[in-house]
Amino acid sequence: MSSSQKRTGSFSRTAKSLALAGVALLVLTACAEDHPARRGWLPGDRDTTSNTAELTDLWVNSWIAALVVGVVTWGLMLWCIVAYRRRKGETGYPRQLAYNIPLEIMYTMIPLVMVAVFFFYTDQVQRSVDEPHDNPDLTIEVYGKQWAWDWNYTYTADDGTEYEVHDTGVQAHLTGEEGVRDTLPTIYLPVDHEITFELKSRDVIHSFWVPAFLQKRDMVPGRTTYIYLTPQETGVFDGKCAELCGEYHSEMLFNVAVVEDDEFIEYLEGLDEGHLGDEYNRNPNLHDSAELTGGNG
């Protein structure tokens, strides 16, 4: 064995053990119960709302499937590059192959099956997440407007008291200093209660997004779109508009405070009664929202 062959041998051994060690390290760290890798580095927590576990599983499993496909594809490519490399003394093109029917059928069918599987699971999760509440504890009608939000709360408390109150926000004022988050308008949600969000717009297309809830939905003038969820963990989360909607889109921010029931009722009692409806829309000639409900934004 020549010395160069020996060197190549020990190099490939070192590379192999390094790769193995890397994979082992990755697997071990990802095994830790609360490692972000287990959630595919998504924001929030698996149990933040009644929908986040399902959405997380769809995301993580899709990534695993995509990675398996990637590894097989990269492996085949590498194998071709190495096994069919130009060897000493070879000239011209290698033997050209075309019209291998079984092979062509295979690489048409496999992607079709993969797309069908992705479609099946995506559809399943989407149906489950978008399943309307028959009788939600709380309905919040959210109006997006350049560049803030109006919230109408309709809530029936456990003792039967009914609330129809509203709150209204103004856009954030991003100064570049710390502490702006504390000045943002805040939407309050009672933990462990079914909530239906009715999403509307007063002017242009906005999008209601709470990253930790893993859900985002367009708010389209003249239509109503919906989000159905049950918050399962108390805390304060970031909310924002996710549809470029004009000059101060980046300041169309809010906080989401998920609180215990008594704190929620205390908050509702501090709000003004009544409803800020379509009469404040900037496009009064649009169809009545009620005629055009539905759709997923």
- Nearer to Cu ion by Cβ, of 213 and 254: the residue is 254
Provide, rounded to whole angstroms, the least separation between the CB of residue 294 and Cu ion. 21
Task: Choose between 57 and 238: whose C-beta lies nearer to Cu ion.
Answer: 238
**Least distance in Å: CB of 245 to Cu ion?**
3
Task: Work out how close the CB of 278 gets to Cu ion at its nearest, in angstroms, rounded to a whole number.
Answer: 18
Compute the least distance from the CB of residue 198 to Cu ion, in Å: 17
Taking the least distance from each CB to Cu ion, the nearer of 39 and 240 is 240
Which CB, 212 or 245, lies closer to Cu ion?
A: 245
Task: Note the Cα 232 to chain centre separation in Å.
Answer: 17
In terms of CB distance, is 138 or 204 closer to Cu ion? 204
Binding site for Cu ion (CB under 5 A): 206, 241, 245, 252
Least separation in angstroms between residue 147's CB and Cu ion is: 6
